[in-house]
């Protein structure tokens, strides 16, 4: 990795906190598909119920136009990963995904071994498309299982049942060497035994990657407006401990707050997020972060799908755009990098922010003293206590 000379140290920072990046981080592409068959009561993502059919052809054309409009921002850069998320991307036909990926390949430089992930629901109709997705160039599938328990699936508003979930995993394993299963714990009235039953069922399929995260009540969701009876905090903590211990015994590396992988099968797209890499986001409501030579640019596309289509047609896909201030960069870096259980190389902070590490030294020293961070010359990482109280740790960098 090329080292960046800190601007403040070099005496080059202007009164306006001008940044100067001498190298750019890896670049990923995120593509958002905003429709779902049904909005889940816990979901706060930009997703919209598809009451009839989705405007597939119009939306693919809009995504391509959106990408073309953003090309001047990424000229000369190579894309290392693509992630097609949602919503429910598996509502797209295999032909639509093929047209989308073909259009992307003809407009950007994609690394030969690029990871291409598509999120899918395990419903029967979606699962029948898996072979077509693989033929189109998708090489990693992420399945939103959440649970195998009929009672919990109903409580979560999921439209698949446990049999469809298992069948979808079997098809995923047939067509994809790399696939992820999403599981949730801390579900309404869930017991520790039920959470572990879900995990054991998932492990029986030998997935390369598992995402295991606790259900939380997010603002502006149906669960926030009408909270279900969730397990006590101590029970959820017991679930988390048991899940981590079981996956470690099964040979999975706990490499991020909620992510577990067999060695060599970590999600490269998400790793780029957590290492404060760059990503171009296209599609309704998609977010992006791009490092220019003198600034870090954040963008957000128009959220409502039909409005997004209208704005793209008018040549205005970006709804909001702003530059991240130098004062905000330490927190933005840490809120990502400290999710990694093994932490980060201290040189990466300087490379991604242009700021010297000593600019946050007092916060690092106090967090280390409080047992939240462990430090060496090669690594800064959250301790187990830091992982358990991650929000408390991150808040310290808000004023760094």
Other beta carbons less than 10 A from residue 85's beta carbon: 20
The partner residues of 288 in beta bridges, in order of sequence, read: 299
pTM: 0.93
State yes or no: pLDDT of 13 exceeds 50. no
Encode pLDDT of 340-389 as tens digits: 999 999 999 999 999 999 999 999 999 999 999 999 999 999 999 999 99
- Cα separation of 314 and 317, whole Å? 8
Arithmetic mean of pLDDT over the chain: 93
Domain assignments of the chain as residue spans, ordered by start: 22-273, 343-395
Which residue's structure tokens are 């597939």? 56
CA distance 161 to 172: 16
Task: Name the CATH code of domain 22-273 (choices 3.80.30.20, 3.30.2270.10, 3.40.1190.20, 3.30.565.10).
Answer: 3.80.30.20
DSSP 71: G
pLDDT at residue 14 greater than cutoff 60: no
- What 3-state class would DSSP assign to 56? helix
Q: What is the pLDDT of residue 400?
A: 66
Q: Predicted confidence band at 61 (pLDDT cuts at 50, 70, 90)?
A: very high
Q: Tell me the β-bridge partners of 340.
A: 256
pLDDT digits (tens, 9 = 90+) for 243-294: 999 999 999 999 999 999 999 999 999 999 999 999 999 999 999 999 999 9
What DSSP string describes 147-201?
A: -S-HHHHHHTT-S--HHHHHHHHHHHHHH-SEEEEEEEES-TT--HHHHHHHHHH
What Å distances lie between residue 258 and 98, 131, 179, 296, 353, CA to CA? 31, 28, 16, 27, 25
Whether 10 shows a pLDDT value over 70: the answer reads no
pLDDT value at residue 50: 87
pLDDT score, position 41 = 92
pLDDT per residue as tens digits for the range 285-339: 999 999 999 999 999 999 999 999 999 999 999 999 999 999 999 999 999 999 9
pLDDT tens for residues 145-168? 999 999 999 999 999 999 999 999
The residue to which tokens 């963008």 are assigned: 299
Tens-digit pLDDT profile for residues 103-140: 999 999 999 999 999 999 998 778 889 999 999 999 99
How far lies 323's CA from each of 17, 216, 370, in Å? 12, 30, 33
User: Tell me: the pLDDT tens digits for 165-191?
Assistant: 999 999 999 999 999 999 999 999 999
């Amino acid at each position: 990795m090329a080292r960046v000379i800190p601007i403040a140290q070099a005496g080059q920072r202007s009164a306006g906190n001008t940044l100067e990046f001498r190298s750019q981080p890896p670049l990923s592409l995120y593509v958002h598909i905003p429709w779902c068959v049904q909005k889940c009561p816990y979901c706060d993502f930009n997703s919209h119920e598809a009451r009839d059919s989705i405007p597939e052809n119009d939306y693919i054309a809009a995504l391509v136009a959106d990408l073309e409009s953003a090309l001047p921002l990424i000229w000369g850069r190579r894309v290392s990963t693509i992630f097609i998320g949602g919503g429910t991307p598996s509502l797209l036909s295999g032909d639509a995904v093929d047209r989308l990926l073909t259009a992307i390949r003809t407009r950007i430089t994609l690394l030969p071994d690029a990871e291409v992930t598509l999120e899918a629901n395990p419903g029967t109709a979606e699962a029948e498309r898996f072979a077509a997705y693989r033929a189109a160039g998708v090489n990693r599938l992420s399945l939103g299982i959440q649970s195998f328990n009929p009672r919990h699936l109903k409580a979560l508003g999921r439209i698949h049942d446990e049999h469809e979930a298992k069948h979808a995993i079997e098809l995923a394993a047939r067509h994809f060497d790399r696939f992820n299963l999403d599981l949730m714990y801390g579900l309404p009235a869930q017991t520790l035994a039920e959470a572990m039953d879900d995990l054991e069922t998932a492990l029986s399929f030998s997935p390369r990657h598992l995402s295991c995260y606790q259900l939380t009540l997010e603002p502006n969701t149906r669960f926030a407006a009408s909270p279900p009876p969730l397990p006590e905090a101590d029970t959820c903590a017991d679930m988390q401990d048991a899940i981590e211990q079981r996956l470690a015994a099964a040979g999975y590396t706990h490499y991020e707050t909620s992510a577990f992988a067999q060695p060599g099968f970590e999600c490269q797209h998400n790793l780029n997020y957590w290492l404060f890499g760059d990503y171009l986001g296209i599609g309704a409501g998609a977010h992006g972060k791009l490092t220019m030579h003198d600034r870090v640019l954040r963008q957000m596309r128009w959220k409502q799908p039909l409005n997004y289509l209208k704005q793209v047609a008018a040549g205005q896909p970006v709804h909001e755009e702003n530059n991240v201030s130098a004062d905000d960069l330490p927190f933005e870096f840490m809120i990502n990098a400290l999710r990694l259980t093994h932490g980060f190389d201290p040189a990466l902070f300087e490379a991604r922010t242009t700021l010297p590490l000593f600019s946050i030294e007092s916060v690092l020293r106090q967090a280390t003293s409080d047992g939240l961070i462990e430090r060496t010359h090669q690594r800064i990482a959250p301790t187990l206590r830091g992982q358990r109280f991650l929000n408390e740790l991150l808040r310290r960098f808000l004023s760094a």
